[in-house]
């Protein structure tokens, strides 16, 4: 069966520090991969998605970036965090079409 792992679960980082969140999928190949952010009291905002290794599409211009160094690995990064980067970050994968998404358990990021 397919599983998705996301870590860390919680993270407190100072303003200006770098960020690296990792997401891996097991049990499938060539998944579509996604990073979402959920700010307090707001819906989900799609940040990045990838349909293959090295293929990244950005939905919202910001100081975050994403990379897909391997087929089932998706990394969210920042060189310098801002206070506004605080939120709940969710990774998801999909086989496409009507299969829907399977979400990771999320990372609660607090920038202080």
Partner 1 sequence: AQSVTQLGSHVSVSEGALVLLRCNYSSSVPPYLFWYVQYPNQGLQLLLKYTTGATLVKGINGFEAEFKKSETSFHLTKPSAHMSDAAEYFCVGGGNKLTFGTGTQLKVEL
CB of 80 to partner 1, least distance (A): 26
Contact yes or no for 47/37 (Cβ under 8 A):
yes
CB of 1 to partner 1, least distance (A): 14
Q: Which residue has the tokens 């310098």?
A: 80
Q: How far is CA 101 from CA 61, 64, 69, 72, 79, in A?
A: 23, 22, 21, 15, 28
CB of 45 to partner 1, least distance (A): 9
Q: Which residue has the tokens 């097991």?
A: 26
Q: Which stretch binds partner 1 (CB under 8 A): 20-28, 37-45, 61-69, 79-87?
A: 37-45
Q: Which stretch binds partner 1 (CB under 8 A): 13-21, 60-68, 69-77, 90-98?
A: 90-98
List 90, 93, 109, 111, residue binding partner 1 (CB under 8 A) = 90
Contact yes or no for 100/93 (Cβ under 8 A):
no
CB of 39 to partner 1, least distance (A): 12
């Amino acid at each position: 069966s397919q599983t998705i792992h996301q870590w860390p679960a919680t993270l407190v980082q100072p303003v200006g520090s770098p960020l690296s969140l990792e997401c891996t999928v097991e049990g499938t190949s060539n998944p579509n991969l996604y990073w979402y952010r959920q700010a307090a009291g707001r819906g989900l905002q799609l940040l990045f998605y990838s349909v293959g290794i090295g293929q990244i599409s950005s939905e919202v211009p910001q100081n975050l970036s994403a990379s897909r160094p391997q087929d089932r690995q998706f990394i969210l990064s920042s060189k310098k965090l801002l206070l506004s980067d605080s939120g709940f970050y969710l990774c998801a994968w999909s086989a496409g079409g009507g299969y829907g998404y399977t979400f990771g358990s999320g990372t609660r990021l607090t920038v202080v």
